[in-house]
């Protein structure tokens, strides 16, 4: 396998990072700052409304970034997607169109647009290869988000083909880890399970009831590996291709729940509310392209779960009322 690359961008070159307050954006920003990068453009939402085309164009024209990591998105778990399909489609479309348009007009050299494996069809052959895109219907529970991501990556590829703006298009599997939140109304499955089982232990609960059947399978990548992967792919010759970013292995939600229950010390009963949806039956990536480019994740799922439990425990010690947040 080719040797893993470093990040060769000069430390003083202007790099625009959107979504810098989010889990991935914050991890990337911290990583680059630690590595000595001194010209990071990380405007907060209060400083720059990414849904305003004029505001985004003015910002990019003024600051003239040479490179961009477009990480901002309206994100959420299955509940949030079901409750707000308009928001997930409309806002994410505005975000991606405005950002890419501004980058192209300002002459940004290279853009990384972070995608998601939800772009692949619901009944996609497993493991999912990049060429499976647009070969079948999407998972209905997150169709709006997926459509916006698909439009964004195709727009980025079109800018590269027509105007020469290079694009890097990693498609990560389920991201978790440092900087994630534990709000059950918005968080993703791994963080939600960490909260549910940790709280159950603290409350001496005899059972925990989870959505679905537990049979759905998911693939997970720690945010630390996402940052490493993005920087590696930014330097690689990807030719504007979609690149799956994940370990290439998955677990069922029931297996994941068992792993988290064991690590939190929960010994009660795990029940399943089968009236609730499972979402897409399976989402496991084929990471052949990723490995050919010289990258593999390092953080194992067991180690990542342990770190996430520790981080949740830390949030409770900092704010004892957060355990009751819904």
The backbone region for 170, taken as left when phi is positive above 0, alpha when psi lies in -120 to 50, beta otherwise, is beta
With CA atoms as reference, report the closest residue to 24 among 65, 73, 60, 78: 73
Tell whether 207 is in a known binding site. no
- Residue 231 has which token pair? 């920087």
Is position 229 annotated in a ligand binding site? no
Residue 16 is assigned to a ligand binding site: no
Is 39 annotated in a binding site? The answer is: no
Q: Is 37 within 8 Å of 26 (Cβ atoms)? A: no
The answer to the question of whether 177 is labelled as a binding residue is no
248 in a known ligand binding site? no
Contacts of 58 (CB under 8 A, 6+ apart): none
211 marked as binding residue: yes
**Is 196 annotated among the ligand-binding residues?**
yes
- Which residue, chain included where needed, has tokens 């083909």? 161
Which tokens belong to 288? 């052949």
Q: Is 306 annotated as a binding residue?
A: no
Backbone angles phi, psi at 220, to 5 degrees: -125, 145
Between CA 276 and CA 280 the distance in angstroms is 13
Ligand-binding site membership of 261 (annotated) = no
55 is in an annotated binding site: no
Beta strands 251-252; 217-218: pairing state: antiparallel
Catalytic status, residue 145: yes
Q: Which residue is catalytic, options 37, 59, 145, 312?
A: 145
List 18's β-bridge partners, or say none.
Answer: 70
67 annotated ligand binder: no
Q: Would the annotation count 117 as a binding residue? A: yes
3-state SS track over 78-97: HHHHHHCHHHHHHHHHHHHH
> What single string gives the DSSP state of each residue in 171-231?
EE-EEESTT----TTT--HHHHHHHHHHHHHHTT-SEEEEES-S--EE-EEEHHHHHHHHH
Q: Is 214 annotated as a binding residue?
A: no
| Longest Cα separation, the chain | 60
25 assigned to a ligand binding site:
yes
Report the DSSP beta bridge partners of residue 166: 110
Would the annotation count 174 as a binding residue? Answer: yes
22 is in an annotated binding site: yes
Residue 77 has phi, psi (to 5 degrees) of: -80, -170
Would you list which residues are annotated within the binding site? 19-25, 114-117, 149, 172-175, 188, 196, 211, 218, 278
Going by the annotation, the residues of the binding site for NADP(+) are: 19-25, 114-117, 149, 172-175, 188
Binding-site residue positions for substrate: 196, 211, 218, 278
* Residues recognised as catalytic: 145
């Amino acid at each position: 396998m080719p040797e893993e690359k470093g990040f060769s961008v000069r430390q003083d070159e202007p790099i625009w990072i959107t979504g810098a307050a989010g889990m991935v954006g914050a991890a990337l920003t911290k990583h680059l700052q630690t590595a000595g990068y001194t010209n990071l453009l990380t405007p907060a939402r209060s400083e720059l409304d990414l849904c305003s085309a004029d505001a985004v164009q003015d910002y990019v024209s003024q600051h003239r970034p040479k490179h961009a990591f477009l990480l901002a998105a309206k994100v959420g778990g299955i509940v949030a997607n079901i409750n707000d399909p308009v928001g997930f489609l409309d806002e994410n479309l505005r975000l991606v169109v405005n950002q890419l348009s501004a980058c192209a007009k300002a002459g940004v050299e290279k853009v990384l647009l972070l995608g998601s494996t939800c772009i692949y069809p619901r009944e996609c052959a497993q493991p999912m290869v990049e060429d499976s895109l647009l070969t079948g219907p999407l998972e209905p529970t997150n169709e709006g988000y997926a459509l916006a991501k698909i439009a964004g990556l195709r727009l980025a590829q079109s800018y590269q083909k027509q105007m020469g703006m290079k694009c890097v298009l990693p498609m990560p599997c389920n991201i978790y880890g440092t900087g994630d939140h534990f709000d059950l109304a918005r968080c993703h499955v791994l963080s939600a399970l960490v909260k549910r089982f940790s709280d159950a232990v603290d409350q001496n609960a005899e059972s925990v009831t989870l959505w679905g059947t537990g049979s759905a399978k998911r693939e997970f990548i720690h945010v630390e590996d996402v940052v490493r992967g993005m920087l590696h792919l930014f330097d690689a010759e990807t030719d504007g291709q979609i690149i799956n970013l994940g370990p290439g292995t998955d677990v069922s939600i029931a297996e994941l729940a068992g792993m988290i229950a064991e690590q939190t010390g929960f010994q009660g009963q795990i029940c399943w509310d089968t009236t609730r949806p499972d979402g897409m039956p399976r989402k496991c990536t084929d990471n052949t392209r990723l490995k050919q480019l010289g990258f593999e994740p390092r953080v194992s799922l067991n180690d990542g779960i342990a770190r996430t439990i520790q981080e949740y425990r830390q949030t409770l010690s900092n704010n004892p009322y957060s355990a009751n947040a819904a």
